Structure 1
Amino acid sequence: MDHPENILPKLARAMIEDVTDQGESVSVGSQISTMIARLAAQAGYDVVLIDSRAGLAELAAPAVLGLGATVLLFGTAQKQTVQGYRALFAALRLLALRDRAAGRDADWRLMLKPVYAKASLDPQVSARYRDEWYDLFAEYLYDAEENAGESDLNFDIDDDSAPHWPLVIPFNQSFVDFDSSRAPDQLLQGFYELTFRPFLDQVDAIIAMSATDNAQSMREPL
């Protein structure tokens, strides 16, 4: 890094609203969405993946809600994972309440999907982690059962199609020392298939469903 003194000023410029020549403000989320649209327009991409591991910083927020995309919430079955997402969900609950009060469905809640990474082979641990995700969704994002209506968002704890039901990536000792720069074979399909194929199949299903929904929305009259 030749000029580390420039890092903070660049971050500061990236995390503030822009102002157009007409004096209109452009949010960070809008800037990111426009940037992605311009990049995606250069080729026929099937999917655009955004790795947003910046914690709960302002720059990570557009990737969570502002882009209208499926959000995979990675974590391990540890207490700090649940506590961290509890803080996020508590903030998202306020947005959901605002949308519902304004008569909007807050369908963005359906776009959130946990991923159980380095999953244990112990079924009790897996069940506990799934239940903890259900508790988070039920407490902060699902609509109350006693007031449930046709447009309300609510799922049973054992519904494997529900947003709270995690996608699973099982733990594999082979990935502990993953270093594809020294072992290029680790990037070959035969190496990662055994661990990641069920997860990738589920992601493919999400992509296919999203493509179907987009096609249907384009056919609907305005």
Structure 2
Amino acid sequence: MRFAQARVRALDLAHEVAAAGVDVLAVRDVLGRFTLIVDDRTQPLPPALESLEDDYGPRLARKLGRYAADRSLMRASGLFSADGLLDSERAVRDPERPAGRVRILDNTVVGEDWAQVSTPAPEADGSRTHRTALYGFKGGVGRSTATAVLARHLADQGHIVLVVDLDLESPGVGPLVAAGTELPPHGIIDQLVESAVDNADGLELVVRTGYEPRGGRGELWVAPARGRGMPGLPYAYVDKLNRVYADVPGADFADRLERAVRACEDAVARDGDSGRRPDVVLLDSRAGIHDIAAVTISRLCDLALLFGTDNAQTWEGYGDLFEAWLLSGQAPAIREKLRMVASMVPDSPLRPRDAYLQSFREHAWESFSLLYDDDVPDPETNELDLDTFSPFLEDEAAPHHPIPILFDPGLVGLDAVSVPGWQDRAFVQAAYRDFLPTATLLITADPQSSEGPR
């Protein structure tokens, strides 16, 4: 009996119990062990389950082996905290059998926010800052450079743009966007550490960059992961990083990260000449399956641009991530705000651009099929459900359809921090010619976004 088998067997038995006419909650602890809780709070169990513990308890223990909890089968009426478990918002329907009476409550050490979805709240006047996350399963795909290019492009369109560097383990987009402007004394790392002890008031987190947008109406701001520090004091970045993910009562990491982004948005309105909040926030997320990416994609953003190259590592990684969303029951809430970005697209006789993008699209579609609905007719009416989300392979508006960024040798080793006007170089413009207008349209046309420049 191994970890993955335990879930299948536990849920099979849970559905067998539920078939007698009761609701069942399958609780998995942080080690992967299962307990089945049968809901008898409002009415007694049906006759078929009168000997519930004797009939099903030993079977569950045998089936699960080491992955059976010490008390693997329990009645809700015998629990002191049954309501807290059975009424938890984190308990979701079994995605494999959503019409059944079985729900799952998964407890994890990290990554729990992959299964918690929320939408940024509107301001008091009804306006909304649009947040876009830029994420890659693997690093080295040009995500931070694309963030800087997109930020400048949006500012040129007249938007107030804020770039927030959330790649705490490998900060870099801050200096890249700042364009030589002195960074603020504090960074996102300081906000996260200080807020854990209720000491974040007065931090200087953002700075307006020296970039002068075309048209004159836009603004470009940056909130770096690492600030410049205070005179005469060590910055102690690693010491802060070693403490940043700690959950403390009333200030868990996910909530602190959300408050950090909002604090940066508030600072733009407070420190800017116009008193306006950002129209667009670009969140440069850490790569990999990590708590920062979990919170950023699931809770903080309206749109998530997923970067990747067409290789087995990319599709295996995204496949694991999509499977986690599917099993958590959160796929419907997340999938429509995703969009793939094909980065470093080659165009050579050995691998022509169009053939590469077709291969990328096919592999992306295979991966995203985990999140899409089955496009099958209703067995009774023989008609398709109009609410089904099942994009076809060539659907250009589908999450799996790639937005290309072309590879150019000039981008390798480009010193974008110290070379002024680098974004206007011909090879840079050529590389991003499809990405910039498409990403801009997705951001500005989103029905949940703000109305753009005011």
Query: TM-score normalised by the shorter chain: which range applies?
Result: 0.7 to 0.9
Q: Does 1:30 align with 2:259?
A: no
TM-score by length of 1: 0.79
Q: Does 1:59 align with 2:292?
A: yes
1:30 and 1:151, CA in 2 relative to 1: closer, same or farther beyond 3 A?
A: farther
2:413 corresponds, among 149, 169, 177, to 177
8 Å CA contact 2:279, 2:450 repeated in 1 = no
Distance of 1:107 and 1:153 partners within structure 2: 11
Q: Which residue of 2 is the match for residue 103 of structure 1?
A: none
Amino acid at match of 1:40: E
Amino acid at match of 1:129: F
Amino acid at match of 1:75: G
Distance of 2:330 and 2:308 partners within structure 1: 27
Amino acid at match of 1:204: T
Unaligned runs of at least 5 residues, structure 1: 21-25, 101-105, 217-222
1:10 corresponds, among 211, 228, 240, to 240
What do you get for the CA RMSD once the two structures are aligned? 2.6
Q: Which residue of 1 is the match for residue 341 of structure 2?
A: 115
1:18 and 1:189, CA in 2 relative to 1: closer, same or farther beyond 3 A?
A: farther
Q: Does 1:165 align with 2:398?
A: no
1:130 corresponds, among 345, 350, 361, to 361
Give how far 1:113 is off: 0.8
Deviations 1:38-72 (A, max 9, x none): 21123332211111124112232101211142111
Q: Which residue of 1 is the match for residue 265 of structure 2?
A: 40
1:174 and 1:99, CA in 2 relative to 1: closer, same or farther beyond 3 A?
A: closer
Identity %: 26
8 Å CA contact 2:286, 2:292 repeated in 1 = no
Distance of 2:427 and 2:366 partners within structure 1: 35
Q: Does 1:206 align with 2:442?
A: yes
More strand by share: 2
Give how far 1:17 is off: 2.5
8 Å CA contact 1:72, 1:115 repeated in 2 = yes
Give how far 1:6 is off: 6.7
8 Å CA contact 2:357, 2:402 repeated in 1 = no
Amino acid at match of 1:177: G
Distance of 1:215 and 1:181 partners within structure 2: 30
Amino acid at match of 2:279: D
Distance of 1:28 and 1:39 partners within structure 2: 17
8 Å CA contact 1:89, 1:136 repeated in 2 = yes
Amino acid at match of 2:317: G
1:170 and 1:111, CA in 2 relative to 1: closer, same or farther beyond 3 A?
A: same
Distance of 2:265 and 2:418 partners within structure 1: 31
1:53 and 1:94, CA in 2 relative to 1: closer, same or farther beyond 3 A?
A: same
Distance of 2:297 and 2:406 partners within structure 1: 25
Q: Which residue of 2 is the match for residue 142 of structure 1?
A: 372
Amino acid at match of 2:294: A
8 Å CA contact 1:72, 1:112 repeated in 2 = yes
8 Å CA contact 1:28, 1:62 repeated in 2 = no
Alignment of 1:98-109 (within 5 A): 98-99=329-330, 106-109=332-335
Give how far 1:190 is off: 4.9
Distance of 1:213 and 1:49 partners within structure 2: 15
TM-score by length of 2: 0.41
Amino acid at match of 2:357: S
Unaligned runs of at least 5 residues, structure 2: 1-232, 270-276, 379-383
The structure that has the greater radius of gyration is 2
Alignment of 1:74-113 (within 5 A): 74-95=307-328, 98-99=329-330, 106-113=332-339
Give how far 1:165 is off: 0.4
1:18 and 1:208, CA in 2 relative to 1: closer, same or farther beyond 3 A?
A: same
SS in 2 for 1:17: coil
Amino acid at match of 2:338: L
Give how far 1:116 is off: 0.2
Give how far 1:181 is off: 3.9
Amino acid at match of 1:187: Q
1:111 and 1:27, CA in 2 relative to 1: closer, same or farther beyond 3 A?
A: farther
More helix by share: 1
Q: How many residues align?
A: 200
8 Å CA contact 2:443, 2:449 repeated in 1 = no
Deviations 1:91-138 (A, max 9, x none): 11113xx258xxxxx232111111000112212222111100000111
Amino acid at match of 1:173: P
